[in-house]
Structure 1
Amino acid sequence: MAPHSQARPSHTGLGRALMSAGVLTPDWAPSFAAVPRSLFLPETMWPFDMERGTSVAVSRAVDPERWQDYADSDVPIVTQWDDGEHTGSEPGTLPTSSASMPSVVFAMLGSLGVRAGDQVLEIGTGTGWNAALLAHRLGPRNITTLEVDAAVTETAHTALHQAGYPVRAVCTDGALGYLDYAPYDRIIATCAVREIPAAWIEQCAPRGVILAPWGTHWGHGDAVVKLVVSAGGGSAGGKFTGPVEFMKLREQRQPPVRHRDYVTPDAEREERTSPLTKQQFLGGPFSPLQFTLGLRVPRCVRLVAEPVNERQPVWLYSLTDHSWACALFKDQQPTQVWQSGRRRLWDETEAACTWWTMNGQPAHERFGLTVTARGQSAWLDTPEHSWPV
């Protein structure tokens, strides 16, 4: 089944849809028209099927029409699973490289605010499409793109040269930046981080812009933050522009928590009920409340279990010690809570929910981030109302 059963998508049609949505602006329209995403996609790819809610394998050799349909659709496309260890056509376990949704790509490029002559550092080459769009706008000599995976780097390098955009594609750890062409006027990350690497601020020009998906350990959801480096360098700050979800910088992936390390037979635990209901608490990856909870309950992982017989547990695990909490949501009944350890994680969570409500249920765009040599601080509306994250 093609992504749209009524009318087949096309590159031109996608462009019109992106312009109507306001994410493809006139200054980026020539780059969109000249650099189709299909030039950078592999023979076998795994686009996200909106109807099925999962990734599906599509081969250009087997079904070229369906392959092209997905290339010209506003869907994310996985191009690598499991750091390249995956084999076969079925989806793997962990997506580790992709082509982002065109709407997200152009929203971020629009926020980057490039100017003629800007030197741009891209973190996460992926397929190379984003670097090619930047190269069309600014010229290949002004673009340096970094990719940690050697095979991904080589494939993107080939695609970029074949498309006529011979940018500097370097295989290295993006967290380290690339000093050879610093300072950069703009730095853009196409992978998510939980901490802005110091090298990015050091290698960005004063008053330059760093644009990156940023998230907490709470869940997979991120938000794009637009940081402006201070006039004297050494620090940066700015607001979030909206929610996204990106693959994490490999250096900053969170290893899975092991339940048995937390919930031990001899652990003391407190039991009580909570006024929070399932409808109030649970939300999707782009929920402003979930983003807020990640900011206000730092260094904590939330895991939502599958519901069974109208009962759904949610587990919280501290990353600073072995504190944990479990909330059991039951339809039409009070929420039962158990918590253990030095941190009372559910108490922190209830307090964060109350704070969010009392501050007008702020969306992502009311929050900001400041990064200094001392660490990171989040804030609401202005940097004066900040706290460490």
Structure 2
Amino acid sequence: MSLNSQRGRRASDELARSLLEAGALTPDWTETFRAVPRSLFLPDLVWAHDMATGRSVSVSRSDDPTGWERTAYANVPLVTQWDDGAHTGSEPGTVPTSSASMPSVVAAMLRDLDVSEGMRVLEVGTGTGWNAGLLAHRLGSGNVVSVEIDEAVADQARGALLRAGLHPETVHGDGGDGWPEGAPYDRVIVTAGVRALPPRWLEQSRPGGVILAPWGTHYSDQDALVRLTVREDGSASGPFVRMVEFMKLRDQSLDWNRFREHVPEFPGDADVSSATVALTDLGDRYEPARFVMGLCVPDCAHVINRPDGRTARAWFFDLTSRSWAAAVFRSGEREATVYQSGPRRLWDEVEAALRWWVGRGEPSHTRFGLTVTAEGQRVWLDDPADSWAV
């Protein structure tokens, strides 16, 4: 074994140990994580992403091999492609379009997938190929199909899998279509955020099978991992497990340019009022309030701008009309100034949703669940029979 291989094996062992101690990795996956090192699946140039600041810093294997290897085994997400591959250079691009998820997220999702020997698995979103490699090592390459929409990303993953001695079926195609040639599947694992669960995933799953997917609304970039069990009638239902955040399926990602004409000038002819709601009441990145707002205020996109250290502006845009709202929060002021324009009173809906959430005891995301049928998808709180469309 070469010196580099020895270092890689030690780093892989250390990563598996730390994930096991943290509870993200279960003992049945430990040997697989040790045997299938993350570094085999990473390109020579990656961007380590800081979840707290949102900054991405490049790490080059040729310029800094020690730093690159340390980054490869760190519990951080790594951007591996910007701008659908159009980006060049070492500086971050505009929009990250492919990545290697945090090892703790990968391990926890495989734990929640709950696979056993002989199961067939469909993975939607191959990315680097590491997740497909882990599944292939555990279940056998012949039981794993992985679909990737970006041809260059799929080719790179296929090459990495071959170098690792693993041969799952790696398909260049739209993951929303699944892969009927390999169906039926016992498990479907999705590594991209979805806003509407494609019916083909249900159609290609066995009754009793599990679909594990990051799901959310266009209200924010938030996703909540949902674990759906497929029923005999072809529907599926299950609870939200925890908050995550993934790059979205390409045909379900939100194009913010669509709102450019909503506010030709600010505040224009908007109605003006005030509110005692605090900015913190709207919820931070992974807080349940923000997720619940997305459930209760449908067809709405929300973003917060902070032009300076003393002012924050929360925007709300209707996805189906030109209605919009903005709440301006100024440091030291008890009330926010609210602007609303268009037939839909979006801020009124947000305030009503907050009152509903508080009145229900501020339930966390784990008390909510999702049911998907041929007619659409419905969210429920505590009881699947008490649901509403989203």
Q: Which amino acid aligns with 1:12?
A: D
Partner in structure 2 of residue 172 of structure 1: 173
CA contact 2:276–2:334 (8 Å) conserved in 1: no
In the TM superposition, what whole-angstrom CA distance separates every residue of 1:232-286 from its partner, at most 9, and x where no partner exists? Answer: 22x11100110001000111111114444212469753221112012322x3321
**Aligned counterpart, 1:6:** none
Amino acid at match of 1:175: G
Deviation of 1:182 (Å): 0.7
Q: Shift of the alpha carbon at 1:321?
A: 0.9
Q: Which residue of 1 aligns with 2:26?
A: 25
**Counterpart residue number, 1:251:** 251
State the AA in 2 paired with 1:285: R
**How far apart are 1:50 and its partner, in Å?**
6.5
* d(CA) in 1 for partners of 2:192, 2:52: 26
Q: Equivalents in 2 of 1:371, 1:98: separation in Å? A: 28
Q: Counterpart in 2 of 1:325?
A: 325
Counterpart of 1:64 in structure 2 is: 65
Percent same amino acid at aligned positions? 52
Map 1:213-362 to 2 at 5 A: 213-233=214-234, 235-264=235-264, 268-281=269-282, 283-308=283-308, 310-331=310-331, 332-362=333-363
In structure 1, give the amino acid aligned to 2:335: P
- CA positional deviation for 1:311: 2.1
Change (3 A) 1:68 1:220: same
Say which SS state the counterpart of residue 295 (structure 1) adopts.
Answer: helix
Letter matched to residue 256 of structure 1: W
Change (3 A) 1:264 1:54: closer
Given that 1:10 and 1:73 are in contact with CA atoms closer than 8 Å, whether structure 2 keeps it comes out as: no
Q: Which digits, 9 at most, give the CA deviation of each residue in 1:63-114, with x for residues without a partner? A: 1100000111100011111100000111111111111001000110011111
**Gap change, CA 1:240 and 1:309, over 3 Å in 2:** closer
CA contact (8 A) 2:281 2:289 kept: no
Structure 1: distance between partners of 2:359 and 2:21 = 36
Q: 1:329 to 1:81 in 2, by over 3 A?
A: same
Q: TM-score, normalised by structure 1?
A: 0.94
Q: In 2, distance between residues paired with 1:274 and 1:236?
A: 40
Residue 185 of structure 1 aligns to a residue in which SS?
Answer: strand
1:133-152 correspondence to structure 2 within 5 Å: 133-152=134-153
Which position in structure 1 is the counterpart of 2:207? 206
Matches of 1:194 and 1:341, distance apart in 2? 25
Does residue 84 in structure 1 map to residue 85 in structure 2? yes
**Which residue does the alignment assign to 2:5?**
none
Where 1:111 maps in the other structure, the secondary structure is helix
Structure 1: gaps spanning 5 or more residues: 1-8
**CA offset at residue 212 of structure 1?**
0.5
- 1:52, distance to aligned residue in structure 2 (A): 6.5
Pairing 1:87-126 to 2, within 5 Å after superposition: 87-126=88-127
In 1, Cα distance between equivalents of 2:200 and 2:376: 13
- Deviation string, structure 1 residues 128-160 (Cα, Å, up to 9, x no partner): 000010011100000000001111111101111
After superposition, what is the alpha-carbon deviation per residue over 1:23-54, rounded to whole angstroms, capped at 9, x for unaligned? 10001111111111001000111112468651
What's 1:367 paired with? Answer: 368
CA contact (8 A) 1:268 1:341 kept: no
Question: For structure 1, which segment, 204-213 or 13-22, has the greater mean C-alpha deviation from structure 2 after superposition?
Answer: 13-22
Please report how far the alpha carbon of residue 13 of structure 1 lies from its aligned counterpart in structure 2 after TM superposition: 2.3
Cα-to-partner distance string for 1:112-135 (whole Å, 9 max, x where unaligned): 111211110000000000001001
Which amino acid is the alignment partner of residue 11 of structure 1? S
- Tell me how far apart the structure 1 counterparts of residues 24 and 383 of structure 2 sit (CA, whole Å): 26
Partner of 1:41: 42
SS at structure 2 position matched to 1:45: strand
Specify whether residues 258 and 147 from structure 1 end up closer, same or farther in structure 2 by C-alpha distance, changes over 3 A only: closer
User: What CA RMSD, in Å, does the superposition of the two structures yield over aligned residues?
Assistant: 1.6
Give the partner amino acid of 1:23.
Answer: A
Give the match's secondary structure for 2:388. strand
Give the whole-Å Cα distance in 2 for the aligned partners of 1:63 and 1:156. 23
Query: Residues of 2 paired with 1:36 and 1:284: CA distance?
Result: 34
TM-score, normalised relative to structure 2: 0.94
Which runs of 5 or more residues in structure 2 are unaligned?
1-9
In the alignment, is the contact (CA less than 8 A) between 1:245 and 1:285 conserved in 2?
Answer: no
**1:75 alignment partner in structure 2:** 76
